[in-house]
């Protein structure tokens, strides 16, 4: 695998003797991927991210960044931290400067870049996150959504090849979280590998092309969203639910295909699965029914 960006091999991490946060976790991320990491609270997602970024050193196992093993040497760790950016869940634990512009410049300044280069990167990151108008603001006067953008700009300014986001939508309102989703898709199209930890299954279903399920420090499943959400046992063990649209689609598909007797034309490709409301409406249109005009004897009442 040439395009493997980060490879994690059998890492173990414990905070104390009794609490093993990660047990023999092995996973690889390729360039340009969009991955969601699902798991309940305390499943080890945040610890995993801190290990991937080199803040926590796993007690055993190893990390490879672009095929190169990361040792305890300072240069190795700095390369890892530059290449794999980590956006913390709470922007307030990340933001340290008294001004947005200075805040974003912290990472590139630590990379010992020239002043012009730092300035160029800060400008670009602010522009990408749409916060150029706040550059002279103090972070304490920004809203939650704006602070989140600042914390992502912080990482973008270091021009990483991969960004880990810890619960990015946890404290955002629907509008901000929609905007964030669009931004993440845009970054991914620009070639940056995005890994998101979340317990919002609907969000993960919409955005990710690969889903990894964590439970009690182990990886339970690592597959396409369709396959992961089809695995009832895995979801039960990890304490997760199915995405709403997945459930609705499944029920609807069953009901709609029964009387016709022939095979479902959509069953061939997994891409046909509607993941957003718009796609879902399209799907209904293709099946010649609308949300309000289902075949009579199979009205919404018979779906459940």
Partner 1 sequence: MITAVLSTAVAFLLFFGKLPLPALIPLCIVLGVLIALLNRHHHDNTLSIDVLAQISRLNKVNPGLKLSALLIAMISCVASQTVFTGLFLLVVVCLLAVCAGGLSLHHYVRVLALPISFLMIGTLALLFAVSSEPLGLLSFNVFGFWLSVTPDTQATAALVVSRAMGAVSCLCLIGLTTPMSEIIGVLRRLHCPEVVIDLMYLIYRYLFILLSVHREMRDAAKSRLGFRNFRNNVRSTGMIYSSLLSRSYHFASRNYDAMESRCYSGGIVFLEHPAPIGAAQVVVAVCLVSACLGLCLSSFLLPTLLPY
Strands 20-30 and 4-14, bridge-based pairing: antiparallel
Q: Which residue has 């600042």 as its token pair? A: 150
Of 111 and 248, the one with the shorter C-beta distance to partner 1 is: 111
Per-residue b or e along 141-153, where b marks 16 or more CB atoms closer than 10 Å to that residue's CB: ebeebbbbbbbbb
- Considering only residues 208 through 237, tell me which ones interact with partner 1, judged by CB under 8 A: none
119 interacts with partner 1 by CB under 8 A: yes
Read off φ and ψ for residue 101, nearest 5 degrees.
-60, -45
C-beta closer to partner 1: residue 131 or 256: 131
Residue 44 binding partner 1, by CB under 8 A: no
For partner 1, the binding residue among 13, 29, 65, 88 (CB under 8 A) is 88
Residue 267 touches partner 1, criterion: CB under 8 A: no
Binds partner 1 by CB under 8 A, chosen from 16, 41, 93, 268: 93
Rounded to a whole number of angstroms, the minimum distance from the CB of residue 144 to partner 1 is: 12
Q: By CB under 8 A, tell whether 22 contacts partner 1.
A: no
H/E run at residue 128: helix 115-128
- Nearer residue to partner 1 within complex by CB, 53 or 215: 53
Separation between Cα atoms, residue 105 and residue 154, nearest integer Å: 7
Q: How many helical (H) and strand (E) elements, i.e. helices and strands, does the chain have?
A: 12, 10
Interface positions, 164-183, toward partner 1 (CB under 8 A): none
Number of residues that bind partner 1 (CB under 8 A): 42
Q: Strands across the sheet with 210-215, in order?
A: 84-87, 162-166, 193-198, 34-38, 210-215, 218-223
The full length of the chain comes to 304
Under the binding rule (CB under 8 A), the answer on residue 21 touching partner 1 is no
Q: Which of 39, 44, 58, 139 binds partner 1 (CB under 8 A)?
A: 139
Nearer to partner 1, 193 or 215 (CB): 193
From 2-10, 96-104, 218-226, 236-244, span contacting partner 1 (CB under 8 A): 96-104
195 binds partner 1 (CB under 8 A): no
105 near partner 1, rule: CB under 8 A: yes
Tracing tokens 């973008």 back to the chain, one arrives at: 156
- Does 249 contact partner 1 by CB under 8 A? no
CA dist 298 to 81, 224, 251, 292, Å? 55, 31, 11, 12
Task: Calculate Rg over the CA atoms of the chain.
Answer: 22
Give the footprint of partner 1 on this chain (CB under 8 A): 50, 53-55, 74, 78, 81-82, 85-86, 88, 90, 92-99, 101-103, 105-111, 115, 118-119, 122, 137-141, 154-155, 158
């Amino acid at each position: 695998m040439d395009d493997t960006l980060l490879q994690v091999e059998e890492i173990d991490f414990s905070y104390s003797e009794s609490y093993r946060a990660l047990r023999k976790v092995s996973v690889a991320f390729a360039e340009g991927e969009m991955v969601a990491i699902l798991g309940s609270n305390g499943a080890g997602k945040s610890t995993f991210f801190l290990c991937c970024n080199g803040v926590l050193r796993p007690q055993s196992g190893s990390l490879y960044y672009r095929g190169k093993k990361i040792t305890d040497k300072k240069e190795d760790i700095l390369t890892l931290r530059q290449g794999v950016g980590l956006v913390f869940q709470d922007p307030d634990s990340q933001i340290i400067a008294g001004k947005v512009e200075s805040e974003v410049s912290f990472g590139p300044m630590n990379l010992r870049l020239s002043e012009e280069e730092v300035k160029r990167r800060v400008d670009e990151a602010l522009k990408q996150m749409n916060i150029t108008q706040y550059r002279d603001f103090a972070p304490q006067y920004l809203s939650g959504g704006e602070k989140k953008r600042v914390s992502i700009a912080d990482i973008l300014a270091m021009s990483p090849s991969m960004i880990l986001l810890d619960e990015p939508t946890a404290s955002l309102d629907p509008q901000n979280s929609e905007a964030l989703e669009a931004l993440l898709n845009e970054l991914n199209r620009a070639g940056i590998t995005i890994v998101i930890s979340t317990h919002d299954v609907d969000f993960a279903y919409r955005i990710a092309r690969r889903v990894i399920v964590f439970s009690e420090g182990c990886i339970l499943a690592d597959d396409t969203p369709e396959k992961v959400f089809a695995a009832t046992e895995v979801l039960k063990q990890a304490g997760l639910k199915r995405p709403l649209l997945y459930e609705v689609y499944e029920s609807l598909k069953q009901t709609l295909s029964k009387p016709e007797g022939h095979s479902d034309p959509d069953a061939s490709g997994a891409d046909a699965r509607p993941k957003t409301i718009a796609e879902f409406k399209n799907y209904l249109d293709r099946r010649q029914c609308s949300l309000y005009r289902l075949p009579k004897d199979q009205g919404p009442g018979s779906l459940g």
